[in-house]
Chains A and B, each alone.
Chain A
Amino acid sequence: MCGIAGIMLKDSSEPFNTGEALVNMLNGCQHRGPDSTGFALYGQAQENKLKLRLFVGQGKEADTAINRIKKFLQEQGATIVDDEHVGEAYRVTVNFSGDIQKFSYALEHAAKVVSIGNSLEIIKDVGSAEDVDGRYNIHNYRGSHGLGHVRLATESDVKPEAAHPFWATGFADVAIVHNGQITNYWKMRRRLEQRGYEFRTDNDSELIAVYLADKLSQGIALKEALKTSIDDLDGTFSFLVSTKDEIGYAKDRLAVKPMVMYETDDLVAVASEEVSLNKLFPGQALNTKEPPPGTYNTWSRST
């Protein structure tokens, strides 16, 4: 039960104020989710450098966790380029060129991973968009594209780990924000587990992320993966997915969850409600579209 938002500049040769735009969009639909807020932000990708974000908590607990992580990174031969402990999270950039899936599954034993990617960073915590921005300085972030999410917890706890966006555990740079409920969750999860994937939460949004990432890893285009997701996933959903170079959406056949798009030659912005889009363009009547039920699409950035 949530509000979602996503934005991409089609020509992303210059980074833009992704963070500020998403904070504003989420401000506009805060009523849809007062419990927690999160962002998936994409910056400049650096070859063989991985950005890791992990939950470590605060105080002593955090110190212990960070030491454990550092030890793990050393064992894996990942050398730390820079690191920082902000709020509940530990952000660390490492030199690493091995198998990311194996690396991330192993890392899970040392810490709670939020995201791994060459360009992706997921920042999420309890509280409103303004709260989380205040804690993590989101509005200063400049990147190429990103997703945002405000959450109203219905069936699970209010804690940072349960906030969106969800990273596709094991797959670099894939993130998802989702409004709705996948009703064949366990069936789909068992299928994916049989293919060797691991899940870190019981949240249906993580499932969508892993489902799509699995398709991508088989060389299937994101657009095609979104198409099959509408057949394979049962329930009510409007979700946005992002990779290093693309964002996309899919919407269920019952059209239960809202979504509004605004597209120009320069940018594409998608949100649960038009009021979020208007936050980007105050005072303007926008030529928006509500995607029909059972539809999907993707946009790529050009660099």
Chain B
Amino acid sequence: MVPIDLGKTSVREGNEQIRQHGQNGEDVEIINPDARHHIGVGLVHPITVKVHGSAGYFCAGLSDSARFEVESNVGWGVGDNMYSGSVIVGGNAGAIPGVAIRGAEIVIHGNMGSRAGQVMKAGTLCCAGNANFMAGYMMYGGRIIILGDSGEKVGEDMSAGEIFVGGKVEDLGSDAELTDIDSAEIEEIMEFLDRYEIPFKGSFQKVVNAGKKLRYATSEQQMRSIPFFTFSGTSDYWNPKIQEDLYIKSQIGRYRIRGYGGARPLPHLSDLAFKKDLSAAGNENNIVSKVKMSTEIGGINGANPLKLSMPVMIAPMSYGALSASTKRAIGLASTMSDIAENTGEGGMSDAQRGAAKQLIFQMLGGRLGWNIHDMNRADGLEIYISQGAKPGLGGQLMAKKVTPELAKIRGIPAGIDLRSPSRHPDILGADDLVIKVEELREATGYRLPVSIKLGAGRVRDDIKIAVKDGFDFVELDGMQGSTGAGSAEVIDYVGIPTLSAIIEALDALEEIGRRQDIQIVLMGGIRDGVDAVKALCLGADAVALGTSTIIAGGCIACMQCHVGQCVTGIATQDPEHEKRYEPEVEAKNIHRFLESVRWQIAAITNGLGYNDVSQLSRDDLVALTPEAAAITGLPYEPQYGDADLDIHVRSVV
């Protein structure tokens, strides 16, 4: 056993050493742990780590195959997201022990804190003492064994998995029920207890999901297609949009789920114009080579930055909402245009990783598909807090799209209407968030940029928290952003416009004098290079494009993304439909679109008299509407409107 003394060595240095010993196959003992956080995170080798004392938050988190033994207590989130391997805790465990485990065995000899095994997917969490509030909260699979009492609301909103309680079942959670146990299950439990030398003589009660909330009671039927452009029209009172809405609600008796972005007219980048005659912009040859557009994102705190050939990246969209072929096409296009792609929720496939040269890996509250191995092969890590289309809510993936393959990568049961958690199990405030950010950095040796995806709500406060918590950049998403499935009311009415979001963010950072400490990637209804330049002029460091790339790649904007029978093969998991999508062809289409964006950025930047996108400033803009002027503080000069329309039309031609 190699000793590491945390009284003398920092946790960061200690973790580097643990990983090194892991590679060498040497066991490690930790002396003077003193309840420090993040001990052993990111370890992927089958060694034994003995902790002589107590460990803090996320001990053994984001690890695979190691065996941890902690003599005394552990803080929150022991074994977080652990794949295989084990953790034995001699004392008590804090809240969310075994959170999001995917196969590991976590054994706690004392009592354990609240929300044990939250969003766990597989493996066993065993507590020899009492559990606390909401054990098994939102678990997707695996087994929890509690030898003592269950605590209140055991099995709250579990989707699958089993909870065995040896003591008193105090109170069942929502959609949980007691069921019979067969003798084989008892034998397996006793075998497990024997293996960990835990004596037990009593009997068990078994708690499982009651199956009442896994699917919406009535599905929303597919309607005749009203394309987004008609749907979002501002025509008369009882227009087709309103009629469709009423009819569907008459059938389902609840809010609607739909894809795409908000349909209400809102102040947007199109309400701004450039304060210069750009009629000659772009007439020169090789305009692209005359403007410096390459942009680094994520390196301000020392991580390896994303290197973008222009200040543009792909917005996060999940494999799940989109087909594997579509993710592949987008990944290929991002490589061809030398920008970065983003996994969105739901994990990273080999195909995705192979297609995209630079790939951001996103972590959501359900930890669907999240794991250390894919973190290690990502180029950036992103913590999703919310998204512009539906701030404050989790994702929705209807049963039709939750195929066995998809369920496997996400670690969930197939065929449920997946309503992803709206919050993270271990991020319940800015104070927890900072510990989480540190865990991701520790697990990956501080190599990768860590970003935060923020749906625009109370941006003024949230961006300050983001900068204090040490994020490298923020992906700030206004309410014009789209989604694969969200409730229509939220898509249309919750959040603040992209324009307001960027202004609030910049004001807030100026207020605390920390603009230089975080980069901003703006998204939410950014359509092309013209919008992109306006965003850069306002003060964004880069923009992200989602919907526009999908449309460039064949989407017909019918808004039925949630149904799962996308005729173009984009928003579907049905092989029959996906067959229609030709990733190689669409990749080229998306690439060509991205190159048109590049050309627009270059032409406008050059037309404004600059040779570097970093020279763009808000002095280059005016507002065309009183609302946009009020939001941005730009001068209200509507006479510039015609010229702006002109540049849109011309650059499209």
Contacts and interface: CB of A to CB of B under 8 A. Distances in A.
Contacts of A152: 430-431, 434, 465, 468
A152 B438 CA distance: 16
Interface string B562-586: 0000000000000000000000000
A283 B32 contact: yes
A34 interface: yes
A185 B225 CA distance: 47
Contacts of B94: 258, 260, 274, 290
A274 B132 contact: no
A155 B461 contact: yes
Interface in B400-430: 428-430
Interface stretch (B49-57, B237-245, B449-457, B598-606): B49-57
A236 B434 contact: no
Given A31-B438, A275-B56, A286-B54, A256 B428 contact: yes
Interface string A134-145: 000000000000
A77 interface: no
Contacts of B115: 255
A158 to B, nearest CB: 7
Given A275-B35, A275-B36, A257 B429 contact: yes
A2 B434 CA distance: 11
Interface in A140-166: 152-155, 158
A290 B92 contact: yes
A278 B53 CA distance: 10
A283 B34 contact: yes
A285 B72 contact: yes
B73 interface: yes
Contacts of B76: 258
Interface string B84-95: 000000011011
A274 B56 contact: yes
Given A31-B438, A255-B115, A274 B428 contact: no
Main secondary structure of the interface of A (DSSP, over half): loop
B431 A285 contact: no
B7 A283 contact: yes
B37 interface: yes
Given A152-B465, A155-B461, A283-B34, A292 B53 contact: no
A152 B132 CA distance: 28
Contacts of B336: none
B132 A285 contact: no
Contacts of B132: 255, 292-293
A2 to B, nearest CB: 6
A1 interface: yes
B95 A273 contact: no
A287 B73 CA distance: 8
Contact of A284 (B53, B75, B113): B53
Interface in A208-257: 236, 253-257
A288 interface: yes
| Most B-side CB within 10 Å, residue of A274, A277, A279 | A274
B429 A1 contact: yes
B512 interface: yes
Contact of A293 (B53, B72, B133, B428): B133
Nearest to A278: B34
A153 B511 CA distance: 13
B34 A35 contact: no
A217 B71 CA distance: 46
A33 interface: yes
Contacts of A3: 431
B27 to A, nearest CB: 20
B75 A274 contact: yes
A289 interface: yes
A286 B72 contact: yes
A3 B434 CA distance: 12
Given A255-B114, A293-B132, A293-B133, A274 B54 contact: yes
B464 interface: yes
A144 to B, nearest CB: 26
A285 B53 contact: yes
A290 B113 contact: yes
Contacts of A256: 428-429
A282 interface: yes
A31 B57 CA distance: 13
A282 B465 contact: no
B35 A278 contact: yes
A33 B53 CA distance: 26
Contacts of B32: 282-283
Interface in B13-40: 32, 34-37
B2 to A, nearest CB: 19
Given A1-B429, A255-B133, A285-B73, A278 B95 contact: no
Interface in A19-37: 31-35
B281 interface: no
Nearest to A275: B35
B435 interface: yes
A255 B35 contact: no
A205 interface: no
Contact of B53 (A32, A254, A283): A283
24 contacts: A1-B431, A31-B434, A31-B435, A31-B438, A32-B434, A32-B435, A35-B468, A154-B429, A155-B461, A179-B429, A179-B431, A180-B429, A255-B113, A255-B115, A258-B94, A273-B35, A275-B34, A278-B53, A282-B34, A285-B54, A286-B35, A287-B72, A288-B54, A290-B113
4 closest pairs, A vs B, by CB? Answer: A285-B72, A274-B35, A278-B34, A255-B114
Given A236-B428, A293-B132, 20 more contacts: A1-B430, A3-B431, A31-B434, A34-B468, A253-B133, A257-B429, A258-B75, A274-B35, A274-B56, A275-B36, A275-B56, A275-B75, A282-B32, A283-B32, A285-B52, A285-B71, A288-B73, A292-B151, A293-B114, A293-B152
